[in-house]
Chains A and B, each alone.
Chain A
Amino acid sequence: MIAEAGLAALWLAAALSLLQLALGVMALMQGGEGLGRAIRPVAVAQAALASFAFLTLVLLFLRTDLSVALVAANSHSMKPFIYKFAGAWGNHEGSMLLWVTVLAVAGAAVAWLERRLPDRTLIGTLAAQAAIGLGFYAFLLFSSNPFERLSPVPVEGNGLNPLLQDPGLAFHPPTLYFGYVGISIAFSFAVGALVTRDVGPLFARAMRPWVLGAWIFLTLGITAGSYWAYYELGWGGWWFWDPVENASLMPWLAATALLHSVTVLATRGALRAWTVMLAVVAFSMSMVGTFLVRSGILTSVHAFAVDPERGAFILVLLALYIGGALALFGLRIHTVKEGSTFEPVSREGALVANNLFLCVVLGLVLIGTLYPLVTEALGEKISIGPPYFNLVTGPIALVLVIAMAAGPLLRWRSDRAGALLRRLALPVLLTALVLLACVLLAPRIRILPLLGLVLATGVGAASLAPLWGRNLRRTPLHIWGMAIAHFGIAVSLAGMASESAFTQERLIALRPGQSTAVGPFSIRFDQVAPVAGPNWTAVEAQLTVRRAEGRAFTMRPQARMFSSPAQPTSEADIATIWNGQLYTVLGENDPQGRWQLRLWWKPFVTLIWLGGGLVALGGLLALAGRMWRERRARRAAQLEPAEAWA
């Protein structure tokens, strides 16, 4: 009965989203007050039903109800509890249900909380959100029903792909989905504003927290996904330019651009058309990402099933929404008033540069990701890998971070280049010193990592420059947020450059008792021993690691064999030290009794994810600061009339 209840809730939610769309369209056409007022509760009820359906699926997974086809195909009664729980979205149907649920909840949050938008724009926004939801409800109900029953009922389930059996599964997909789908709000805002021709600073201020929120989740999701791939796949890399990774990076790039342009619109009333366009582009990138990952056109851990019908369905949805939004943009954009002007050397100018560079990087990643699909359709099979992406995005990213260092130090509307250089004197000096140190101490370092290290220092210093000379306790929270987020980018860049410049690797076959060395460590291979977990067995190596005069510690990389499904995986063991990570992988044994070991010493690699965390923290501070400020302003506005009476 549980599965049927879930399915019924899903159908009802779909019906409510249709009602929400109809109410919205009717209210906009007739201008009926009552219709418009009904749309908010409908959006909230729709979210409640979608959440109920999702919880039902989680419950089915927790109980391992094998009469449900999805559970039987992806779960197993012996699976640890956390993977029964997270396994609910570790498959195609479940993850799409999570997608729709997040979409509905985001729409409900707008309906519930948003009080700044003019009524008609809000109605347009909720109607657009309902239109997106409707498409995805149809996708679930007609081609990816998670609640389908199975007959006869199997005695045991197939189990979950062992690579997904990791705590990361509980965290990474939901976070990323909140980001992906959160951007749909920006899209719906843009559609709502186009419908009512009301694109201005007020609209931008209303949209900004939603963009910021989605962007924080995207940042966290990408950072978590990168670290998960790094430790789980055992290849020692942290970013592979896998199309699925690109699918999450592209919305982030667009959302980052949007975040900056929406600030220009909110503060200065400029970049109106551009901001609306970016909102459409950002959501298009989420949809392209969903298409790439969910259509099965790519094969990877993320593509759970291959079914051409599903790919076609998502492609049609993509074309409908993006095409519709672009058509609306084309029809209405000439009615949007032109924004305020500014000089090229100004805060606005720097933010335009930021937007252009981000969009260029986005375009390059998009081309590199889609090109193999296009050539394959034409009959030639190629793959585009790190050589292309590093070559084309690396240099532009470096220019981008320079712009990032300069931008916050410029005044709005117009400024002088000479003044900027004076403000940047200290960071530039620091950059020169680090450059000198690098050339003297590590003369054989390659050009891109060298530039990365040097710029990271300068940019790190410059990004804190907006805080200099301020009374730190009275500095608004969103300024802190900006400085910390920019500093996080510099930290992350330093980690990437250091990893790429200074990583040392050792690949060797050893007998128990023999020793080797990598970086500053000497490593003795003590023994291998069998170990067992809840649904796997493994051989585990014991390594005694010593650094110069330091205390010895033990590391235990494993080669695991999962029982359901039967599949081997490699569990790397990673030791984190203040200045980097030692990464150890156990390979195969040979007839002479030797075991393969792959060891990496990666100085300061942890900075990559620490930086990502700082970027998200900066976003969070900015969000909190903005909301707090607005609340205070609202309070003050409410008090004023009363004072006038007194």
Chain B
Amino acid sequence: MPSVLAILLVVGAGPVLVLAILLLGGVGVVLWSREHAPQDTLMVGRDVPVRLLQWAVGLLPADRVGWGQAMLGELDRIEGRSDRWRFALGCMAGVVLLPPSDAVGPLAALVAVALGSAVVFGFGFVHFGLATSPWNWVMLAILVALVMGSIVAVSVLLRRPGVARLGLVGGLFVAATWLAFSGFTFAGIISPIDSVGAWSNPALFIGVPLVVGVLGAWRGRSASVGRRAARLAGVSAGLAMFFVSTIAVVAIDGGPRDPGVGVAGGVSEAFFNVAMLFLVSLPLATATIGWVAATATARFRYGGPGPTEP
């Protein structure tokens, strides 16, 4: 939550928006703590590799859970700290990178979008001579990590039953709303939160995620499906908007820039800003607010997590 606030402050959110996020975050913490009372006493006494692997196994789809148990059973028999760490970390990587068995098409589409962003960004990097500044290489490394992290997150979320369609439709809705707020202009796409008016900030960072979370929990008939759908919507919309915004940055040479800043500096700054906005702020806001909305919706509608809670 502090990271969300920091990022929102950086991208220019006002104090009212920050207060609203704090309020919603507080509601979220209360709801979360009521649903996650400590009960798993079996975890006590287990070492870190077991705990990490247990967490990773929880990311597996229902039809693969047996394989996660197989990994845990094998880890239980391995002696030696370094061997246990190696085995657990290897299994975690295997679990996280395991492609979804029934949503390969959507994953391939989002990977294609990410690759498209990389191609456009790479073109801009070379065309505007960004390679001469060490800072731009740092930015490149951050961007690669963010895009790869987004793809891994999408891959994990697509495995969950009932989440793919809701999350991807939600992602289209989020991306379409951001595009609408941008006015469908290149300058607007680079900074959509400034394009319409003072109310665009709360609408994009709170209103849209609330709609996604509520509809996700409503249509998915459970809080967890709604929460995951909100996460998937945020990450997929972020990837799509990042792709569009890289094209916008290249097309208008980074857009308006401060006096004294050259074209390369303006493009570099614009690339970094759109990456932070669409790969960090948008997914975090959608996931956080969507989480609260989905949890509250399930609680009001079903009086608990929901009738189909896995």
A and B: partners? no
Residues of A within 8 A of B (CB): none
B: residues with CB less than 8 A from A are none
